[in-house]
């Protein structure tokens, strides 16, 4: 069967018209090239001196790994000069990063998590890069881009994707017309189309949650998980499996492949049901991918992509995966409201 590279796939999507204008196609090519560079860097591990922490915290108050900064800078340097972006924002940078005046500005905004799950790096487990693309507001073309220009609900994303650096390096993309997967052929350095129109299988019962937080959850969340754990003799009448990888991207990849549900629920430690995960560069892009694959993504009751952001690094609770299972979980959470 003839191999379809990412470049050919994007050109053909552009020809289909409408959802992939040339500037957006070129932006995705640049981001994919940066993810390839991140993959090669991660794969060096100790040999490349890229493991370990920097002994400082990022804007999230989390210990910053060397690779967090390396990956952030690779994406920044790859995207600054291309002329596709008006500005960038990242988990690793407190403020937005306007495109310097020495470069042409484009019509898109890129917001990303350069390394999701970075605590996995030093123990050689999968990590990933997550990115979301928004259109800059028309009226921003004549002025400096501000953080407020990024604060658009997830339903306005024009593209979303992630790369996973695991046993294979894969890239998953959506432009709002289905979900497509590519595998990196390291011998020639090409992304090759390996999955088209990915849809989440509905018949596999598996939940992903950090069980050590159980005591902090609301009672309705505890009851949902307890009923899953009660198995076929319990209220759900089915046995469930559990997985938790510590990298949302890896859990979402598994759900796209074999089904299940991912939860990072609100808990007593976060006021106002905030949750731990970030809306703009984790929940929104992965929520768009999950919905495009036939699944559902909420904060427990509200659709993720309808949440109006109030801050670039805003946190949300996350429940996403197989639509039928998310609806079952929502039944528990709504009943308690
Ligand atoms: P915990 C990684 O830090 C992350 O943002 C997600 O990728 C992951 O699902 C979650 O946090 C892991 O959180 O509390 O289990 O370490």
The CATH number covering residue 69 comes to 3.30.540.10
Cα 64 to ligand 1 centre (Å): 14
Q: Is the pLDDT of residue 77 over 90?
A: yes
Model pLDDT, residue 52: 86
Q: Is the pLDDT of residue 325 over 90?
A: yes
The mean predicted confidence, pLDDT, of the chain is: 95
Question: So what's the ipTM on this one?
Answer: 0.98
Model pLDDT, residue 282: 98
What's the average model confidence in pLDDT over 307-335? 96
The Cα 209–Cα 254 span in angstroms is: 13
Q: What percent of the chain has pLDDT above 90?
A: 86
For residue 282, the enclosing domain spans: 206-336
Residue 54's pLDDT band (cuts 50, 70, 90): confident
Residue 108 neighbours by CB under 8 Å, 6+ apart: 23, 24, 27, 84, 85, 86, 133, 134, 135, 136, 158
Cα 81 to ligand 1 centre (Å): 32
Cα 10 to ligand 1 centre (Å): 31
Closest C-alpha to 111, from 134, 127, 78, 81: 134
Do 225 and 262 fall into the same domain? yes
The pLDDT tens digits for 196-253 are 999 999 888 999 999 999 999 999 999 999 999 999 999 999 999 999 999 999 999 9
Region of residue 136 (phi > 0: left; psi between -120 and 50: alpha; otherwise: beta)? beta
Model pLDDT, residue 57: 83
Q: Is residue 84 in a domain? A: yes
Do 168 and 263 fall into the same domain? no
Residue 288 neighbours by CB under 8 Å, 6+ apart: 132, 154, 157, 160, 174, 176, 305
Question: Which residues lie with the beta carbon below 6 Å from any ligand 1 atom?
Answer: 116-117, 210, 246-248, 277
Which ligand 1 atom is the nearest neighbour of the CA of 249? 7
What's the average model confidence in pLDDT over 32-57? 92
Tokens 């390394």 label which residue? Answer: 115
Question: Cβ–Cβ contacts within 10 Å for residue 80, how many?
Answer: 17
Tokens 């429940």 label which residue? Answer: 319
The CATH number covering residue 317 comes to 3.40.190.80
Asked if residue 283 lies in contact with residue 297, where contact means CB atoms within 8 angstroms, the answer is: yes
Last residue of a domain, one of 173, 195, 217: 195
Q: Is residue 73 in a domain? A: yes
161 assigned binding-site residue: no
Q: Is the pLDDT of residue 332 over 90?
A: yes
Q: Is residue 200 in a domain? A: no
Which tokens is 98 given?
A: 């306007």
What's the average model confidence in pLDDT over 68-86? 95
Nearest protein Cα to ligand 1, atom 16:
246
Which ligand 1 atom is the nearest neighbour of the CA of 262? 9
Do 167 and 217 fall into the same domain? no
Residue 87's pLDDT band (cuts 50, 70, 90): very high
Q: Is residue 201 in a domain? A: no
Model pLDDT, residue 241: 98
Do 35 and 175 fall into the same domain? yes
Model pLDDT, residue 17: 77
Comparing 59-63, 93-97, 104-108, which segment has the lowest mean pLDDT? 59-63
Q: Is residue 286 in a domain? A: yes
Do 329 and 210 fall into the same domain? yes
154 assigned binding-site residue: no
| Count of domains forming the chain | 2
The pLDDT tens digits for 99-109 are 999 999 999 99
Model pLDDT, residue 235: 96
Model pLDDT, residue 224: 97
- pTM of the predicted structure, to 2 decimals: 0.97
Q: What are the backbone angles phi and psi of residue 303, rounded to the nearest 5°? A: -60, 130
Q: Is the pLDDT of residue 299 over 80?
A: yes
Burial of 5 (0-12, 13-18, 19+ CB in 10 A): middle
Nearest protein Cα to ligand 1, atom 9:
248
Q: Is residue 81 in a domain? A: yes
Residue 274's pLDDT band (cuts 50, 70, 90): confident
What's the average model confidence in pLDDT over 115-141? 94
Residue 323's pLDDT band (cuts 50, 70, 90): very high
What's the average model confidence in pLDDT over 175-189? 97
Do 283 and 165 fall into the same domain? no
Last residue of a domain, one of 195, 225, 242: 195
Q: Is residue 1 in a domain? A: no
The Cα 310–Cα 213 span in angstroms is: 26
Do 76 and 119 fall into the same domain? yes
Angle at alpha carbon of residue 89, lines to 269 and 178, rounded to 5°? 90
Q: Is residue 289 in a domain? A: yes
Asked if residue 297 lies in contact with residue 282, where contact means CB atoms within 8 angstroms, the answer is: no
Model pLDDT, residue 67: 93
Q: Is the pLDDT of residue 317 over 80?
A: yes
Do 10 and 59 fall into the same domain? yes
CA 10 to each of CA 24, 39, 80, 180, 183: distance values in angstroms, whole numbers, following the listed order = 10, 21, 21, 11, 15
Do 254 and 306 fall into the same domain? yes
Do 320 and 294 fall into the same domain? yes
């Amino acid at each position: 069967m003839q191999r379809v590279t990412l470049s050919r796939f994007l050109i053909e999507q552009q020809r289909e018209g409408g959802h992939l204008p040339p500037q957006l196609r070129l932006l995705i090519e640049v981001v994919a090239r940066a993810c390839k560079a991140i993959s090669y860097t991660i794969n060096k591990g100790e040999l490349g001196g890229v493991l370990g922490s920097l002994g400082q915290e990022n804007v999230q108050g989390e210990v910053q790994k060397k690779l967090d900064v390396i990956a952030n800078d690779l994406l920044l340097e790859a995207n600054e000069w291309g002329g596709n972006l008006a500005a960038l924002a990242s988990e690793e940078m407190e403020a937005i990063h306007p495109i310097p005046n020495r470069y042409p500005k484009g019509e898109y905004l890129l917001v990303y998590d350069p390394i999701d799950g970075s605590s996995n790096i030093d123990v050689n487990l999968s990590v990933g890069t997550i990115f979301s693309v928004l259109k800059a507001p028309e009226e921003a073309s004549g002025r400096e881009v501000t953080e407020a220009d990024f604060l658009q609900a997830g339903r306005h994303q024009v593209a979303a994707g992630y790369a996973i650096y695991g046993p294979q390096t894969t890239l998953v993309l959506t432009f709002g017309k289905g979900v497509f997967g590519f595998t990196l052929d390291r011998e020639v350095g090409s992304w090759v189309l390996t999955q088209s129109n990915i849809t989440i299988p509905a018949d596999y019962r598996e939940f992903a949650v950090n069980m050590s937080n159980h005591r902090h959850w609301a009672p309705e969340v505890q009851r949902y998980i307890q009923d899953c754990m009660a198995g076929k003799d319990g209220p759900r009448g089915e046995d469930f499996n559990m997985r938790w990888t510590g990298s949302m991207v890896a859990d979402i990849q598994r759900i796209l492949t074999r089904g299940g549900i991912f939860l990072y629920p609100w808990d007593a430690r976060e006021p106002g049901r905030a949750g731990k995960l970030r809306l703009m560069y984790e929940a929104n892009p992965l929520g768009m991918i999950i919905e495009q694959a036939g699944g559902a993504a909420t904060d427990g009751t509200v659709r993720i992509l309808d949440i109006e952001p109030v801050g670039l690094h805003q946190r949300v609770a996350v429940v996403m995966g197989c639509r039928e299972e998310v609806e079952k979980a929502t039944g528990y959470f709504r009943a308690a409201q």
